[in-house]
Chain A
Amino acid sequence: KAGVTQTPRYLIKTRGQQVTLSCSPISGHRSVSWYQQTPGQGLQFLFEYFSETQRNKGNFPGRFSGRQFSNSRSEMNVSTLELGDSALYLCASSGGGDPYNEQFFGPGTRLTVL
C-alpha cells in the first residue's frame, strides 16, 4: 500500500502571498489531519477532516483553511502569509472511524516565507 504523499515537498513564498498544500492519504483512509511543526512550538494540530467534513479544529487563525474531496484527498490553504508561518506542514491519515486509530504521516511540506 502506498503511504501518505504530500506535494510539494518544498515551497518558498513571500509575505502576503497565499499557498495551497496537498495531501493524498493511504487508500481507504477517510480521516486526514494537518499539523504545523516548528522547532519552538513542536507539533501543533491544525484541523481534521473526515468524509469531506471538518471534524476537529485547532487554535489557528482563519487564514488557515482546508478541505477534503470525495476521494479523501485534502488540501490546506494559508492566505496572507506571515514570516511566522514558516514551518514543516505534516499531513496524517487514519482509518478514521475510531479515536484510537493510529495516524500515518506523510513526509511533510517545508514552507519558507521570506
Chain B
Amino acid sequence: AQSVAQPEDQVNVAEGNPLTVKCTYSVSGNPYLFWYVQYPNRGLQFLLKYITGDNLVKGSYGFEAEFNKSQTSFHLKKPSALVSDSALYFCAVRAFSGTYKYIFGTGTRLKVLA
C-alpha cells in the first residue's frame, strides 16, 4: 500500500536558521512528490513538486526539497527561516497503483521563533 510519513508533528526553529521538514514515502512505482503549505483558516497552497530529473527541486518562497530515491525521502528545506513561514506543511505522493490517488502525510506544524 502507498503511504507517506511525516515523522514530526511540530518543528521549532529560530528565525534566520535553516529549517528542514521531513517526509518519507512508500510506493510501488515511480512517485510524483509534492509539498503544500496551509496557513491558518485557509486552503492548501502548492509549494513545489518532483517529477523526474534533478533531485533538488526549488519552489515558492525560497523553499526547496531534495528527492532521495535510496532513502525514499523528500525533505523540505529552507536556508533561512522567517516568522511568516510558520504554518502547517503537508507532503503528498502520487504513484500508480491501479489508479493515481493523492496520498497526503499527516502534516508538520512549523513554528519559527523570533
Interface residues of A (CB under 8 A from B): 4, 33, 35, 42-45, 48, 55-56, 58, 90, 92, 99-100, 102-108
Contact = CB atoms under 8 A, between A and B. Distances in A.
Interface stretch (B17-25, B64-72, B75-83, B95-103): B95-103
B42 A56 contact: no
Nearest to B35: A102
Contacts of A92: 43-44
Contacts of B32: 99-100
Nearest to B99: A56
Contacts, number: 53
B46 A102 contact: yes
B107 A33 contact: no
A107 B102 contact: no
A99 B49 CA distance: 12
A90 B51 contact: no
B106 interface: yes
Interface of B: 32, 34, 36, 41-46, 49, 51, 90, 94, 96, 99-107
Helix, strand, loop or mixed for chain B's interface?
strand
B106 A33 contact: no
12 contacts: A43-B107, A48-B102, A56-B99, A56-B100, A90-B43, A90-B44, A92-B44, A99-B100, A100-B32, A103-B36, A103-B44, A107-B42
B3 to A, nearest CB: 12
